[in-house]
Amino acid sequence: MADQNKTKVIILTGSYRIKGYIDLVPGARVTDYMTEAKNFIAVTDAEVWEAGERRVLAAPFLNVCRDHIQVIAPEG
């Protein structure tokens, strides 16, 4: 059974595109999640890509500095 609290997202920073999952309560908005986030957000099953479409990193867990996030959106 899939974890219903996992939401697939795309995060854009100044240098990278990050794909992965955040723990989001069903019915909650990503905007609310970001408003309540501390300095870092946890992303699981993460992939980090450079602008040139080169995959830089894949990790089961990654902390992303909130201050560097320019765009975050659910992927779907």
Q: Report the distance separating Cα 63 and Cα 70, nearest Å.
A: 15
Q: Can you give the pLDDT at residue 2?
A: 56
Q: Are 32 and 7 in contact (CB under 8 A)?
A: no
Q: What is the mean pLDDT of the chain?
A: 91
In this structure, CATH architecture of domain 6-74: Roll (2.30)
Task: Name residues whose C-beta falls within 8 Å of residue 7's C-beta, 6 or more positions apart in sequence.
Answer: 21, 22, 23, 24, 30, 74
Domain parsing of the chain, residue ranges: 6-74
20 close to 46: Cβ distance less than 8 angstroms: yes
pTM: 0.88
13-45 tens-digit pLDDT: 999 999 999 998 888 899 888 988 899 999 999
